[in-house]
């Protein structure tokens, strides 16, 4: 699988900062048996930087996040997150998983789910920590507009309400690195704005580095410092204006793709995939192995 384009551009555009990278991949590759998802991936994400990860279904976005969470070992290369080899349950990492509904009978309230972001990785908390814990959980709930349903059983909440709790859980521990896997899916526009503002504010005030997987770049366009675009083993890393071009996406998809700027939005039109689909996030999702053509961002 060729990755030369990605390798060259990654090296050319990687930022050198005085601060140590919050997240770093060196010559990283991941293969499942004979299938290589990506290889030769070099990426340093600086504290406070926002990197959007885009690509069609099955291109390896969630797999990359699983590597950064320490749930999956690289096939080649090295990875460091917050200065360490990633390990399961690291308090330095906040994680918003790709959405799946919670069990309706799960015996947890919203505030319990959020609290797991503070102490889910260790046993028990001291008495002195309890007031602080309560305060932080309340603040996190408030920030996602979740206070009014904080005591309801989580499994009975709507998909968007559950998703806002996951965002609160990921942020409540003030992580050095925030890994988000399509966190805006199923949120209405107003709550998309709440969540994107919250993440933006957090990275600016506390220097949280953000890796944000999304099929829809427009809701986060003003926040994006760089894009990592993965397609079928090829990738490109760079500032939005360098990656989100007709030329680059046509090269990655190996077919004609047009990228148009309409006011402050990017519209990506895959020449081969027929009528323009303006709502890629609302169409039925394929299984993980699906290879979709380029999404059309509206
Ligand atoms: N443990 C595994 N063993 C074998 N193949 C796997 C494993 N985990 C993931 N894959 C395959 O790797 C590919 C990439 O999966 P991944 O979930 O990373 O895709 P994705 O880019 O997140 O896609 P989507 O946009 O649909 O969420 C898929 O084809 C998937 O079936
Ligand atoms: Mg995924």
In this predicted structure, the answer to whether residue 283 has a pLDDT above a threshold of 60 is no
- For a pocket test of ligand 1, which of 1, 41, 60 has the largest count of ligand atoms closer than 8 A to its C-beta? 60
- Which residue owns the Cα nearest ligand 1 atom 13? 58
Average pLDDT over residues 223-236: 96
Residues 2-33: pLDDT tens digits? 344 444 344 433 444 456 899 999 999 999 99
60 touches ligand 1 (CB under 6 Å): yes
15 touches ligand 1 (CB under 6 Å): no
The Å distance, Cα 175 to ligand 1 centre, comes to 26
The Å distance, Cα 90 to ligand 2 centre, comes to 21
The Å distance, Cα 15 to ligand 1 centre, comes to 28
In this predicted structure, the answer to whether residue 51 has a pLDDT above a threshold of 50 is yes
226 touches ligand 1 (CB under 6 Å): no
Q: What homologous superfamily does CATH list for 4-282?
A: P-loop containing nucleotide triphosphate hydrolases (3.40.50.300)
The Å distance, Cα 290 to ligand 1 centre, comes to 9
Q: Please tell me the pTM assigned to this model.
A: 0.85
pLDDT of residue 274: 37
The Å distance, Cα 19 to ligand 1 centre, comes to 33
- For a pocket test of ligand 1, which of 66, 229, 288 has the largest count of ligand atoms closer than 8 A to its C-beta? 288
pLDDT of residue 20: 83
Domain residue ranges in the chain: 4-282
pLDDT band at 294 (very low <50, low <70, confident <90, very high): low
Average pLDDT over residues 89-96: 91
CB-CB contact of 235 with 228 (8 Å):
yes
Average pLDDT over residues 243-270: 93
CB-CB contact of 298 with 268 (8 Å):
no
30 touches ligand 1 (CB under 6 Å): no
In this predicted structure, the answer to whether residue 273 has a pLDDT above a threshold of 60 is no
- Which residue owns the Cα nearest ligand 1 atom 17? 62
pLDDT of residue 291: 40
Atom of ligand 1 nearest to the CA of 66: 18
Token reading at 135: 């305060």
In this predicted structure, the answer to whether residue 86 has a pLDDT above a threshold of 80 is yes
pLDDT of residue 218: 95
Atom of ligand 1 nearest to the CA of 288: 26
57 touches ligand 1 (CB under 6 Å): yes
pLDDT of residue 101: 82
Of residues 127 and 239, the one with the higher pLDDT is 239
Average pLDDT over residues 45-54: 97
Residues 99-146: pLDDT tens digits? 888 888 999 999 999 999 987 665 555 555 788 899 999 999 999 999
The Å distance, Cα 57 to ligand 1 centre, comes to 8
62 touches ligand 1 (CB under 6 Å): yes
Residues 148-196: pLDDT tens digits? 999 999 999 999 999 999 999 999 999 999 999 999 998 999 999 999 9
pLDDT of residue 131: 86
Instruction: Report percent pLDDT > 70 for the chain.
Output: 81
């Amino acid at each position: 699988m060729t990755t030369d384009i990605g390798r060259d551009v990654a090296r050319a555009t990687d930022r050198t900062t005085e601060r140590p990278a919050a997240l770093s991949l060196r010559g990283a590759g991941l293969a499942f048996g004979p299938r290589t998802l990506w290889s030769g991936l070099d990426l340093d994400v600086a504290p406070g930087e926002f990197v959007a990860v885009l690509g069609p279904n099955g291109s390896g976005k969630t797999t990359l996040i699983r590597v950064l969470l320490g749930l999956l070992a690289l096939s080649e290369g090295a990875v460091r997150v917050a200065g360490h080899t990633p390990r399961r349950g690291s308090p330095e990492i906040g994680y918003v998983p790709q959405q799946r509904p919670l069990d309706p009978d799960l015996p947890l309230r919203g505030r319990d789910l959020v609290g797991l972001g503070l102490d889910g990785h260790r046993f028990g908390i001291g008495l002195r920590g309890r007031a602080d814990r309560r305060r932080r959980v309340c603040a996190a709930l408030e920030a996602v507009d979740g206070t009014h349903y904080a005591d309801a059983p989580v499994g009975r909440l709507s998909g968007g309400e559950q998703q806002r709790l996951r965002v609160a859980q990921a942020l409540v521990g003030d992580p050095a690195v925030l890994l988000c896997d399509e966190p805006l899916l199923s949120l209405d526009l107003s709550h998309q704005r709440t969540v994107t503002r919250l993440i933006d504010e957090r990275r600016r005030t506390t220097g949280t580095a953000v890796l944000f997987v999304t099929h829809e770049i427009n809701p986060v366009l003003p926040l994006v410092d760089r894009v990592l675009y993965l397609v079928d083993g090829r990738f490109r890393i760079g500032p939005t204006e360098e990656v989100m071009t007709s030329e680059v996406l046509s090269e990655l998809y190996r077919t004609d793709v047009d990228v148009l700027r309409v006011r402050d939005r990017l519209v990506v039109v895959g020449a081969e995939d027929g009528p323009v689909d303006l709502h890629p996030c609302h169409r039925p999702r394929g299984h993980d192995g699906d290879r979709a053509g380029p999404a059309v961002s509206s």
